[in-house]
Amino acid sequence: MNDQPLIVVLGATASGKTKMAVQLAHALKGEIISADSRQVYRGMDIGTGKDLNEYKTKDDAVPYHLIDIVDAGDKYHVNNFIEDFHKCYHKIKSAGKPAILCGGTGMYIHTLLQNYQYTGIPVDPNMRANLTGLSREDLIKRLSTYPKQYTVHADQSTVKRLIRAIEIAAYLERHGLQNEQHPQLSALVIGLVDDVVQRRAKIESRLDRRLAEGLVEEVAGLLARGVTTDMLEFYGLEYKLTVQFLNGMLSFDTFRAQLFTQICQYAKRQMTFFRKMEKDGVHIHWFQADTPAEVVQKALLDNFL
């Protein structure tokens, strides 16, 4: 199994990624690594959709990693994820097992698969302030003043990305690149997709289930334990709007309606990001979200593994 590629299961929220990954892991005797930017937090269970019961099959429990590893109220970034992933991945592969990466945080997955070296370079607010307002042509000229080894991989497609490219080039010119390098991963990427009507129906059903399971009470408990309103709003979506509901800023009906709308918008953004990943060279093998796991498994075994 040591030469088997990393299997990645991705898709928009509510597409059934976890269920599919667990069934594949059970069949292949593998372990799951989560690629969800919020499931790392302890005590944030309902709002992040951990659904830990899904990791259990009728025969046993599938091992999982990078869930419940950070206290709620802390911050966890893509660089933390990359380092933690490689530690877990090495451990799983050393045991002779396949690893399955599962999640919907596209930036985490994309950064990992493309082995980007620059994610840890800090933002320079002063430089960004000075560059904001310049035309794309002016930014390209500015970028060309830096050594080519710092700009050769720069994305010049938008003003925003040009500004980040200049920020990176300026940093590298001063400091060089100190980040630990990791080997390029061999990955087999599976994507689950619903049509829009199905996706919205799944999102609504899951939202009502989470509300019934105690989403509001979970957020109230986090506030009671000292997690700040600012941090909960930083975590976004369910947490941000639930805080507003608890503070009396939204009626329950408005809270539910806005949350449903924003989760649907988030799912759309996820799919847009996955399409960008494909344009950047990540090959995603798409399956309808309701495809039985045994069908996906057979396709993997017959064609890829």
The annotated binding site for ATP is made up of: 11-18
Give the DSSP H or E segment for 93: helix 78-94
Residues in Cβ contact with 211 at an 8 Å cutoff, skipping those fewer than 6 apart: 256
CA distance 6 to 30: 10
Contact 172, 120 (CB under 8 A): no
Contact 146, 170 (CB under 8 A): yes
Contact 293, 24 (CB under 8 A): yes
Mark the binding-site residues, compressed into ranges. 11-18
CA distance 237 to 78: 19
CA distance 297 to 247: 47
Structure tokens at 93: 């592969």
| Residue carrying the six token digits 């698969």 | 113
Q: Give which of 138, 150, 78, 70 is closest to 108, Cα–Cα.
A: 78
CA distance 102 to 190: 10
Burial category of 120 from C-beta neighbours within 10 Å (exposed 0-12, middle 13-18, buried 19 and up): middle
Q: How far does CA 68 lie from the centroid of its chain?
A: 15
Mark the binding-site residues for substrate, compressed into ranges. 13-18
Range list of H helices, 144-195: 159-175
